[in-house]
Amino acid sequence: MLARRSVLLPLGLLLAAGCGERARLWGVPLAVQGPLKAGGQALWVDGTRGAVFALSPGEGGAAPSLASGALPRNASFVAPTPAGDLLLVLSRGKEAIYRDQSAEEPGLSVLRPSAGAAPELVRFYPLAAGLDRLAVAGDGKQAVAYSSGAPGQAGVFHNPNEVALLDLTQPPGPENPVRRTVRSFGSAPIGVVFSPPMPIPAPSGPAHSLALVLAKGYLTFLDLGHPSRREITVPLVKPESSESVTPAQVLFSRETVFVRADGASDLYSLTLAARTPQAPDENDFLPSINQPSSGRTPLDVALFRDQKRDLLLTANASGDLALIDAATSQFSLIPVGSPVDTLLLTPREEPTLALVYSKRSPAPRIHFVELKGLADGLTKNLTTRKLDQAVHQLVATPDGKQALVVHNDARTVVSILDLVGEHHTVSPIHGQLPLGSFDFASGAAGSYLVGVSAGLSRLGLLDLANLHTADLRLDSSPSRVLALGDRILVDHGAPEGRVTVVPRAGASRDECQVLSGFLLAGLLDRELED
């Protein structure tokens, strides 16, 4: 029997709360997002009550622990930073409707998880309630809040082109965040992408950190180092054109920005040239646009470095690959003989191998492209592996030595693909039901693929070193699995909160703990609004 720990509310307290005038909270469904991984904890955010719940899985023999803290209510967006050390929560806040309520300001909460304790509120940035999406730079220092354009925004007016520029390294103040309305030609932002520091002019000019606001038909450049300067808008189609072009991918190489857009027949290349501003609010750079034509329509694009050159690899609608020199736009074509639309480069840092396949037209084959010396080898660097099952998704392991192959088959759930060596062997792993959730766990016990199926009360474990399989019987159906180091957390998706904490791969049921009811903790402490 699994060890249990409950924080369920006493029945008498629940009954007392229901006596007399009906409490407002009982008519309000709880809006819980999570679990999410940040800072070694599993976190849930309840936007209805304005609360964050943190589970520390325990280290060095310590027992799992739970803690909770307060947040502004009505969370619209929750995500960890790219490094996974902080949790970011956008909230719409709350108006004081009743006499006994207090108003809460909308804005961005920056939380720092802390083992064995509730996450610490590091900073709070006031924002407009309509900003319900957040993009964060890869280094976690800059962010841009914008609107998703979702219907049902409160208020008489809503500006879908308003953005807020935030410096997450500095406290809030009159100039942080900076609110702007970006220029619009009828569209609204659909995403934001951040550049690395780009020297303008290259290679020794001052570094510019830019935010590119993506919208249907055009791009908008914002200089994060000078947020009060004007935006620069670059149309992707001519004003008289009837083309519908939507930017989908953005890549950066020195002073050049490459854009793949849905509906476009080729890549866009935007070169950033230095200019002398004539006014304090003008920019000191100007983009010029062209298309480094390979004569193909790209469906996916990746950038890598080889022999001190930045190279672009595109998977094309014509069933081939194009290799483009980012500096000169010279290109070569690599025929693959089948439809391809997806590229996966591995390992993540300094990739040496590209896996090429089709998500749109799944087929039982994977193409392998050795990236080192590709410009000289072309077809010599290309090999193909046929499989028994169609390939719907590839997910590389954290070390880049293997990949999980997801098949569209209710019996053969996945395969493990070896990425080391020249043979690229494929080992099928069978299961009773489709794999609903999975993660990669690593620790003293080794590296494992852990997964669950919603219709099966078991946790599956696959030792990635020898592909030995094992499973652990659970007390109830699982919803999601997370790996927190060598600890494994199975969330059962119960509205009151129920998780099974597995101390390590290979642990027995007696060593596991079930924690129940933690999402009900403090349910009556804070009043809810209708």
Q: What sign for the dihedral angle of Cα 418, 424, 429, 434? A: positive
Average pLDDT, the chain: 88
This prediction has a pTM of 0.89
**516 φ/ψ angles, rounded to the nearest 5 degrees:** -130, 150
Report the percent of the chain where pLDDT is more than 90: 65
| The predicted structure's pLDDT at residue 9 | 41
User: Using CA atoms, how far apart are residues 292 and 294, in angstroms rounded to an integer?
Assistant: 7
Q: Give me the long-range contacts of 349-353 (CB less than 8 A, separation at least 24).
A: 350/305, 351/302, 351/304, 351/400, 353/419
Binned at pLDDT 50, 70 and 90, residue 464 comes out as: very high
| 238 burial via Cβ count (<10 Å: 0-12, 13-18, 19+) | exposed
| Both tokens assigned to 150 | 């979702």
Residue type (1 letter), 46: D
List, for residues 298-316, the tens digit of each pLDDT value: 999 999 999 889 999 999 9
Q: Which whole number is the average pLDDT over 103-124?
A: 92
User: Using CA atoms, how far apart are residues 157 and 160, in angstroms rounded to an integer?
Assistant: 10
| The predicted structure's pLDDT at residue 356 | 97
Binned at pLDDT 50, 70 and 90, residue 25 comes out as: low
Q: Which residue has the higher pLDDT, 444 or 153?
A: 444
User: Using CA atoms, how far apart are residues 231 and 509, in angstroms rounded to an integer?
Assistant: 58
Radius of gyration of the chain (CA): 26
Residue among 221, 215, 160 nearest 191 (CA): 215
| The predicted structure's pLDDT at residue 475 | 94
Residue among 189, 206, 188 nearest 197 (CA): 206
List, for residues 234-247, the tens digit of each pLDDT value: 999 887 777 889 99
List, for residues 200-235, the tens digit of each pLDDT value: 988 888 899 999 999 999 999 999 999 989 999 999
**Does residue 20 carry a pLDDT above 50?**
no
Binned at pLDDT 50, 70 and 90, residue 292 comes out as: low
Binned at pLDDT 50, 70 and 90, residue 380 comes out as: confident
Considering only the top CATH level, what class is 31-155? mainly beta
Binned at pLDDT 50, 70 and 90, residue 17 comes out as: very low
Binned at pLDDT 50, 70 and 90, residue 520 comes out as: confident
User: Using CA atoms, how far apart are residues 151 and 156, in angstroms rounded to an integer?
Assistant: 13
- Pick the range with the lowest mean pLDDT from 70-79, 91-100, 270-279, 342-351: 91-100
- Dump the DSSP string for 33-56: EEEEEETTEEEEEETTTTEEEEEE
Report the percent of the chain where pLDDT is more than 70: 90
For 191, residues 6+ apart whose C-beta sits below 8 A from its C-beta are 135, 213, 214, 247
Return residue ranges of the chain for CATH 2.130.10.10.
31-155
Residue among 107, 43, 124 nearest 80 (CA): 43
Alpha carbon distances (Å) from 279 to 101, 220, 275, 449: 49, 20, 12, 57
- Dump the DSSP string for 159-190: -TTEEEEEETTS--BTTBSEEEE---SS--EE
* The residue count for the chain: 530
CB atoms within 10 A of CB 107: 23
Residue type (1 letter), 455: G
Start-to-end Cα distance in the chain: 41
